[in-house]
Structure 1
């Protein structure tokens, strides 16, 4: 695959490549701060690679192993979300600091991590969200250096889109978009990248490093699973939001297709609980209000997306009940739906959920959109699983750009193959009348 001209081998070098005043570069903040950001970026790429190694070839895994690797992969992903938040905040602070040479500093800081010529095209997709966030921050700044940096970022974001489209093209050419049966795609280029990753990381080592155990064997009948839906029926669910951009974009796509959905909300994304026990909503709650006003259902996805099987007592209750309080503040008629982070639950967690008069909702079709940067691959995975299951609750996440891009592809396939869309009516997942 031709490598697009990304100036930061993996992100963007906007310092010495585009700005003439780079002969005497300014240091980007204190050395320890630069080292911390650079370390976060290196760790972010390593975790991204491990996620791909963990989830590659899932179709051949027995269900217990598949659940295990997905759980570990999701933990790696959420660790990466925290790293990305730290990186984005540090770069935003630098861009808006007003200090001379701050735009060169931002580029130089990125280049410290991205100058490795061994990075692959697929590696570059790991940094797209960081690049997009920096693009948004620079947009509000004035001056010729800001304009140059903003233009360079736009070009590199376009180059990343070209990389994604190249992988998409491999997959689109491999299966019939209207047929009932999926044809196994030939993913030579992507497979070459995955094979290279497998030479550096072993799935067994990643699992051992995480120190995980097999998840609980059997769920209780009190939970809702997609297997109880009628044949050729699906319910769409989106976890981990709301996101400042992608949640509303996803809602707009759903509205275009007239499809219901449930958005499982992480409490800290919409507010906090004060020392006095009072709820305080933040800007994320405004997005959730819009989702609710548009007819979508809001569910509880814990306060911090912690692995609840590792918590007990008051800490466990707070994860569930604090988010419930925030959702009640936002919408007194909030739904009773709850989803355990990572799908990990035990007897104590289930008891707290039941005592709060909430209902646990699991899934049986996992898009793995958090692990896969290629929208066509996400689409293929959803349809392949549905062909095996015949029905299901589909797990997406409304915090990824690739989900926004994959969703119309999935909806087109589902509609073409005659699937019906079920929504939560307050007591069960049902297909609205007239559909």
Structure 2
């Protein structure tokens, strides 16, 4: 009988993976997490069906009749129990954004596994009971369940199994008797029982402030990125000098055995490749520090230490640090920060003033580490008025003049 319940797990897993493949799902961490969450639940349906079939066997019904009647009696209750578990994950369908992509796979795997568990409990378990399980009677007392297979027909194996079953049943009955006594006392004093449960609940609330909560577990990407801005209009050779100072700070703080390589990207280009960098002008740069595998200090710890050092030693720079990891990029939907506030309007000067005012308020929050405004509104500009008549004498249009002037964008 135990083998019948045991085999229901791999059968449910096989059925689940087959359905996941049919719906186009892949085997990933979230799918495996959903299966790990529901695997303990997969056995319940089979156990309930098995126990009810065995109860009918105790009454003296034939194997076929016991399997049919026992399975039919609990089909609806088992279905209801499975649906109540699956309906808990219905709100996942209402999620959007990253949450939907993360948890929809988990919920899908869990629901499919519950469906597979119900089908196995309603088909495989009754068939198994009909073929292999029979009660063994001795003076009206059922001592054990024997399997009608050649392996268990051996006398020594059968006697060892019966001895183990008797010993196990002996201690199990004692545990049930103790449980029955405590349950009877609890039911006789319902008020005291409710007060005890309420007291334990209140005590558990005292530990709530000690629990650390996060949207998604933080992973160590073994790297960090520092986005840097010098004064607007700074020449690229001066920006390079600032970058060298930042690199010196990184080399001083990060242990030599942990540091792998530092890559710096300074300024930008006027062509299409500019879209692949966070830099906006010659005064901007980003420095990426990569750590060796097995580094002794976490990348987030190094990043905080470097940030504090730059803020103290190079206050002329505006910096923003980010992990640069793939997980954080997915969670942030590709944005540079977990919280991204965007302000739009027709008057850019008023919008920029509002952004500065809002950044000051956000920066005062105790849970906010950094506030960074990537846009520059004080960039130097040069107005070029083209003499169209003079340009036409050389066969040039306004577009030709602009394309041949490297300072016009």
TM-score bracket relative to the smaller structure: under 0.3
Structure possessing the higher radius of gyration over alpha carbons: 2
Return the structure number with greater helix share.
Answer: 2
Higher relative contact order (Cα pairs below 8 Å, separated by 6+ residues): 1
TM-score if structure 1 supplies the norm length?
A: 0.22
